[in-house]
A and B are shown apart, each in its own frame.
Chain A
Amino acid sequence: MFKKDITPGAKSKVKSSVQRTIRSKVLEQYPLLEPYIEDILPKKEQLDLVKLPDRIALYALGTTPLFFQHMDDPLLPHLTLIHRYPRCFPTLRIDRGAIRFVLSGATLMTPGLTSPGGRLPNDPNDAEGRYGKKELEAGEVVVIEAEGKEHACMVGVLKVGTEEMKRVKKGQACEAGHYLGDGLWSLSLG
């Protein structure tokens, strides 16, 4: 979505009724954020909407970007938000070899997730259960972590479900939504 550098468009204040809707949508999509929602989207503070190219809207609090959305698609969290609240989103892990492809904006391929360094839900190598027990469906928003790294490197929308990935073990897995170093990452709201 943001392979190129982007210039932010007009910034406008979000009406309080719309702000409430966004808040409830965020909670509906990411229920694990519930304990922190007042810190992330304080009721009393003014949320801004920044228009980005290709009909993408970015919601920000002051200079802090929070969520972005293409038209009426699901709200996707900005990576800095994920870094602050890492365990609150459905998460998968890629192996080390896939990192450099993801960071250059390539579509994430299934072998990066099914290889020994990758992690999917119910992974036999995931004793801690960090990647959950619930299989994810195509169309769900996922955060992508990386082997040997602490912080997430990408967030995107699944092209195929995780069960199918385990079966087929090839093909495209997840569209590059927003990744470390892309145009959205480099955007300054100052």
Chain B
Amino acid sequence: MATATYPIQVTYCGICSLPPEYCEFGGTTKKCEEWLEEKLPDMHSKLYSQEVLEQNMSALSVDAQKRAEKDSQKKAARAEAASAKLAETRATSKVLIKRIERNKRKYVTAVQGLEAFGLDIKKVAKDFGKKFATGSSVTKVPGGGEEITVQGDLSDDIFDYVVENYKDVPEDNLECIEDKKKKKADG
């Protein structure tokens, strides 16, 4: 037992990120169990065996069990509400791909709103830079949120790339717009 080789490889739950033996304390226990059953059936049968479940129960008084039960129901309700809210913000969030004229015939493309879809903006900016072999940077926009600025007129390419590579962003939520210089817009 003491001769275990370090480092120990630990598996974490793909749903709640904790070691699977702790999934029972989160608000997503059901989903966690399904995930484990599918990905790691051996561990699943170990953790969710009748014997283990009974042992877990017997470690607590009836009173404590009731309180724990209530607590986990509350947690589950909270987790559900949070995921419903997330789904809603995703459904209503827009991603704007804006073509901006910097100088005559020099354009940059600004992309806003990707963070609502759980994307890591810095990583996406890097991906853009690599994919289009161009400068790509992240700036904060007033009023919260972040914006990726890519050098060049790439609106259509970015539109296609986002649809193709970030499946969490529905095509309908993407919009390409043009931000002409004031002078030009007037004329």
What residues of chain A have their CB less than 8 Å away from a CB belonging to chain B? Answer: 35-36, 39, 80, 83-87, 95-97, 99-100, 103, 117, 128, 147-151, 153, 180-181, 185-186, 188, 190
Contact = CB atoms under 8 A, between A and B. Distances in A.
A83 B10 contact: yes
| Interface range, B side | 20 to 34
Contacts of B8: 83-86
Given A80-B10, A84-B10, A117 B21 contact: no
B187 interface: no
Contacts, number: 64
B7 A85 contact: yes
A148 B99 CA distance: 58
Interface string B95-109: 000000000000000
Contact of A190 (B1, B10, B72, B123): B123
Contact of B56 (A35, A148, A190): A148
B21 to A, nearest CB: 5
Contacts of A99: 22, 25
B22 A153 contact: yes
B16 interface: yes
Contacts of B21: 149-151
A157 B44 CA distance: 34
Contacts of B186: none
Given A97-B64, A151-B21, A36 B7 contact: yes
Contacts of B123: 190
